[in-house]
A and B are shown apart, each in its own frame.
Chain A
């Protein structure tokens, strides 16, 4: 499987984490692909929840937006936004939050608001969306982000979401919080990735677990399912 891309490994690793979840709240992009894939490869009963109000959506294709028609058409129920946040997310009825971000710090906190100064930003990003309350409302938060020094920064330009992720899945490996102080530790590298390379792409002095493991490579079945999904 030498032609497998880093992005494919990242998506498959994220999907595997949903094996035992009942429900997953999904942001757009790679988190969405991973959660849809999870229904196909590890957890056919996984309830997909999108902030547009669609609960139990069963998309056959990757939606462009969180409000595509297929999500509403295939959902178990479709609820107003107020109900989504007040009745479903806030009380902790959704198990897992899958989130992305422009910046991640060593605690796993997230920035999706601005790069630069808030009043005079270098780059204005979209903003919070549902993330702050989704991260605190769901039992488990999993962050999916590309590994680069621009993303993994020592200091966030803006703290949008006070997440405490159980795992951060990147295209190079997996980070998990130290049980003692919560700082992210590299616990796993994807096949062919050296820990030094992960440090080079991280904007702080990265802790590496003494029990550093290697990600089990994608199986033929996982890869075939992902590629079929992306091609649909």
Chain B
């Protein structure tokens, strides 16, 4: 059963230097508050995993928390580049960043295999691309039809962190709107933390809602607005203006550092952004 704890305590307990950490949320429900707490606690050498690194991993990378990144799309959606991600790969700033990149289909299936406790996933993918020479993918023959398929290794992060709309007092959570790969990522993770907009007495299942029982989650922390500038469907709006503004803030190392100082490092422990 998940413990309901403060965000500071949850991150201190569950996220360690050198861990592989997946923070998921496909454009929607990105766990910014938890990621900022990881930055404030000064975690280092993380093996960051996320399909779409987005602004959150741009911030973690720019603050020197990551040693390695596993991903499938490193852009600012609809805006352009992630400048801190680019600076780390192109110039090794602030620290060199190893990468392992996949396609979305490959990453999603890697999580699904991890959730299923299988060693790998199969899909029709990667064929004829240069990705094959640069990432973990192998060819496998179907034992029934002889078809050649791609195999990708399971992902089992040391810790998975997601954000959801609500939790009850047993630590069961419900999220709705774009469900992304959060359920797979939680079930694939060795440990898990869910931040939520609110606590409710009873979860009322919603059409299209994804309920994850508290007994597969380690900790739940209340973090209202904790997905901003991403959003929590039905409760908060995506701050598209901030996604555009980030292009300017993040382009320059000093401007980025000043913004992080003011909005993340300067915020109280456990705070949202």
Contact = CB atoms under 8 A, between A and B. Distances in A.
Contacts of B104: 51, 81, 85, 128-130, 133
B105 A78 contact: no
Given A67-B27, A80-B181, A85 B77 contact: no
Interface residues of B, number: 54
A46 B89 CA distance: 40
Interface stretch (B5-13, B129-137, B258-266): B129-137
Contacts of B52: 129
Interface in A52-91: 52-54, 63-69, 71-73, 77-82, 84-86, 89-90
Contacts of A69: 28, 177, 231, 233, 237-238
A160 B123 contact: no
Nearest to A116: B90
B177 to A, nearest CB: 5
A81 B26 contact: yes
In terms of DSSP, what is the predominant structure of the interface of chain B?
Answer: loop
B243 interface: yes
Question: Which of B72, B129, B177, B240 has the most CB atoms of chain A within a 10 A radius of its CB?
Answer: B129
Contacts of A53: 26, 178-180
Contacts of A63: 78
Contact of B103 (A64, A122, A125, A129): A129
Given A81-B26, A130-B103, A133-B104, A162 B128 contact: yes
A61 B72 CA distance: 27
A129 B26 CA distance: 12
Interface in A98-152: 113, 118, 121-133, 136-137
Contacts of B208: 77-78
A161 interface: yes
A154 interface: no
B71 interface: yes
Given A121-B90, A130-B104, A80 B243 contact: no
Given A127-B71, A127-B72, A66 B27 contact: yes
Contacts of B129: 128, 132, 159-162
B252 to A, nearest CB: 17
Contacts of A28: 77-78
Interface in B117-143: 123-131, 134
Interface in A35-56: 51-54
Contacts of B243: 64-65
B123 A133 contact: yes
A52 B78 contact: no
A80 B238 contact: no
A29 interface: yes
A88 to B, nearest CB: 11
B130 A72 contact: no
B69 to A, nearest CB: 11
B246 interface: no
Interface string B231-270: 1010001101001100000000000000000000000000
Given A78-B179, A124-B85, A162-B129, A85 B108 contact: yes
Given A65-B77, A124-B85, A81 B181 contact: yes
A113 B75 CA distance: 11
A56 to B, nearest CB: 13
Nearest to B71: A127
A29 B243 CA distance: 15
Contacts of B179: 53, 78-80
Contacts of B173: none
A126 B130 contact: no
A80 to B, nearest CB: 5
Contacts of B244: 64
Interface of A: 28-29, 51-54, 63-69, 71-73, 77-82, 84-86, 89-90, 113, 118, 121-133, 136-137, 158-162
Given A69-B231, A129-B75, 12 more contacts: A65-B240, A66-B27, A67-B178, A73-B233, A80-B180, A82-B184, A86-B108, A123-B86, A124-B89, A125-B81, A128-B101, A128-B129
23 contacts: A29-B78, A52-B178, A53-B179, A54-B178, A65-B243, A67-B238, A71-B178, A77-B208, A81-B51, A82-B112, A82-B181, A82-B184, A85-B123, A86-B105, A126-B73, A127-B101, A128-B103, A132-B103, A132-B125, A132-B131, A159-B129, A161-B129, A162-B127
